[in-house]
Structure 1
């Protein structure tokens, strides 16, 4: 596979075969459990762990600043790897401690206020939804939540009318894959609509980067934010953002920091012209080095090959769950992803997840409070979410399906 680290070009045939046995052999967390929570926090590889621990040991011996100076080239390579994965350039990448921090930094820098408009899908995650609601309440920003079409995805015709009729500066706060289902939103079409009307598009790709092959040039978005801990299989406390060159031109960071600005006079400063103007100085260098390893491993596996493998695995699990008595798949029709959600008759999601955990099966319950515009609207108090990754084998899937069937049978007893 050829990866273009600067120009965003890469060749990655989806026909490549993922070596599941090899992935398991370098992932200690697969031993003794059946882990289906990559959408919460994917299992890190042994290499990721070793990178984090090795740097912490170096900090212990020589000090944090000195260890960071020694690792400067490796930290710079994190930006290069992230850019390669997303089809961007290294100077369009900023690193954060989470996707939420990244989204906050982007929206703060846009400085929206009275008369401006944000348009969002019903698939928005709680943290971003609350942020937008707070902007509506405290900053007089107009918030428009677009309904879904029959497929469960954002209704593009309604979106077009909303963008065309919006006032002030307009930002579409798009979501690629939500936390509450396996839905995949049509973000390229969303960005195209925004572009036609001079609006910005900011994509929350928290649940998609690492499982779905994303090229920001093809998507044509202005910004995209993701986390390191989920399908990228990086450490917790890491995240990254892509910002198209020129997106923040004339705006600058809302809260400039020594990382992205230079204090040049009594009341003057200059901004870094790259995406890093949104960063802050302090960070966990060890965690970023671990993220760098995770990014390189994702590139080595191949983004297109990983997507093909995981989408097929999600489809297989979704179809099998639908055949179990007392189980209802909760994913909308437009759900070609590795995330699968379902309910079990007579049990709330947390009860199902707890019972599966006693069988050494890791899943998670997503309550309506994490997705009111989605689960709340659909009348679902909670769903059970399972999300496999490249380290899940056929035995894991068999145990998962048998476990869900047993829990459903118990609920009917």
Structure 2
């Protein structure tokens, strides 16, 4: 598909996406709408399981299911042996974090202000048990994590730098590559939560310089819920021992000893949904065929238009920090609880999201926000849907 998207391109993609026919979906940051082909890839395999038996069907579809790993590697500019297929961002990120082993009193973890609450929960538990400190990297004037401030914080006690690339509560895009240069220069492990980034932005793990990157596939990639990708840099893998293994991730050898896999498969399990992996393979193939740079351009165009129109509603306040921004448009409407607003829009066939303090507690507390409404766009959205959302908000706020 050539860039930019033509009207015919968008209409064709929408025709292949059942969800666009019955709802105006602005909740892609939570979960996007799968294509008919992705749905068929899942249901076709479930039919094979029902008619031939799950194990037999799984063996027959093994090559197709494993295509997800190869396609994900192409998407991230990684090698297939650096990719683990997981159940989602938190599972991948948390398992890799736990695999770092025991922490020692006095060690430090540095995080951006926008870190995902689930990641913070895992870090806080480790810190509480072991006397580890978690320090927040200052943000620059735009609200983004400041690489220079990070460099000034470093000492020999820092064992991990963690960054949520695109926060869940706003359109900010953090400078992942600049943070990576600092981490590599000082040889400090660098974890990225890319839940909102993969499928929306071009991602090159070699340029970013991360050791671990985790994402969910239900968002911009439009994959099935319950699927995720975990990238682990090949040279970093030997430093990670997963806390939970099985016959797939650490098979027993002839001497009765468990042998950890020498690839990212050490973070996978023998028990998995082949049907979901077949669906994921299709979703990844579609993203690569369309082209992520084109997807990024389309989303940026739509999100910019939505921000411009929302800014013209006097009772609406935009809440997006940063200079470079994503397709997640955060706002609040004066005098309206965000959950109530979400419900009111839902009764009119429009879906948006809501982000509360537990999603990004450090940033929400720093900005004195209790909740934000989120209208997140996809390349599937069109200008008429933006107009409909804005007009409906105007009517509700009268």
User: Shorter-chain TM-score category?
Assistant: over 0.9
> Which residue of 364, 367, 370 maps to 2:353?
364
1:158, distance to aligned residue in structure 2 (A): 2.0
Question: Contact between 2:66 and 2:277, CA under 8 Å: does it hold in 1?
Answer: no
SS of the aligned residue for 1:246 comes to helix
1:268-283 aligned at under 5 Å gives the runs 268-283=257-272
In the aligned structure 2, how far is the partner of 1:33 from the partner of 1:255? 41
In the aligned structure 2, how far is the partner of 1:139 from the partner of 1:268? 30
Show the counterpart of 2:224: 235
The CA RMSD over aligned residues, in Å, is: 1.6
1:210-289 aligned at under 5 Å gives the runs 210-264=199-253, 268-289=257-278
In the aligned structure 1, how far is the partner of 2:65 from the partner of 2:186? 38
Show the counterpart of 1:140: 131
Question: Contact between 1:325 and 1:405, CA under 8 Å: does it hold in 2?
Answer: no
In the aligned structure 2, how far is the partner of 1:220 from the partner of 1:250? 16
In the aligned structure 2, how far is the partner of 1:57 from the partner of 1:336? 42
When structure 1 is superposed on structure 2, of 113-122 and 52-61 the one drifting more is 113-122
1:256, distance to aligned residue in structure 2 (A): 2.5
Question: Contact between 1:119 and 1:146, CA under 8 Å: does it hold in 2?
Answer: yes
Show the counterpart of 1:208: 197
When structure 1 is superposed on structure 2, of 251-260 and 35-44 the one drifting more is 251-260
Show the counterpart of 1:96: 86
> Which residue of 38, 48, 71 maps to 1:58?
48
1:200, distance to aligned residue in structure 2 (A): 1.0
Q: TM-score, normalised by structure 2?
A: 0.96
User: Would you say 1:158 and 2:149 are equivalent positions?
Assistant: yes
User: Would you say 1:108 and 2:98 are equivalent positions?
Assistant: yes
SS of the aligned residue for 2:258 comes to strand
CA gap of 1:26–1:223, structure 2 versus 1, over 3 A, is same
Question: Contact between 1:109 and 1:248, CA under 8 Å: does it hold in 2?
Answer: no
- Ranges in structure 2 where 5+ consecutive residues have no aligned partner: none
Superposed CA offset, 1:23-46 (max 9, x none): 100000011321001100000110
Superposed CA offset, 1:275-304 (max 9, x none): 111111111110111011000000011011
User: Deviation above 3 Å: which 4+ runs of structure 1?
Assistant: 13-18
1:140, distance to aligned residue in structure 2 (A): 2.8
Show the counterpart of 2:371: 382
In the aligned structure 1, how far is the partner of 2:239 from the partner of 2:119? 25
In the aligned structure 1, how far is the partner of 2:249 from the partner of 2:122? 24
User: Would you say 1:324 and 2:344 are equivalent positions?
Assistant: no
SS of the aligned residue for 1:213 comes to coil
- The alignment of Structure 1 onto Structure 2 pairs a total of residues equal to 396
CA gap of 1:122–1:112, structure 2 versus 1, over 3 A, is farther
Question: Contact between 1:229 and 1:235, CA under 8 Å: does it hold in 2?
Answer: yes
User: Would you say 1:175 and 2:184 are equivalent positions?
Assistant: no
When structure 1 is superposed on structure 2, of 186-195 and 211-220 the one drifting more is 211-220
In the aligned structure 2, how far is the partner of 1:303 from the partner of 1:72? 27
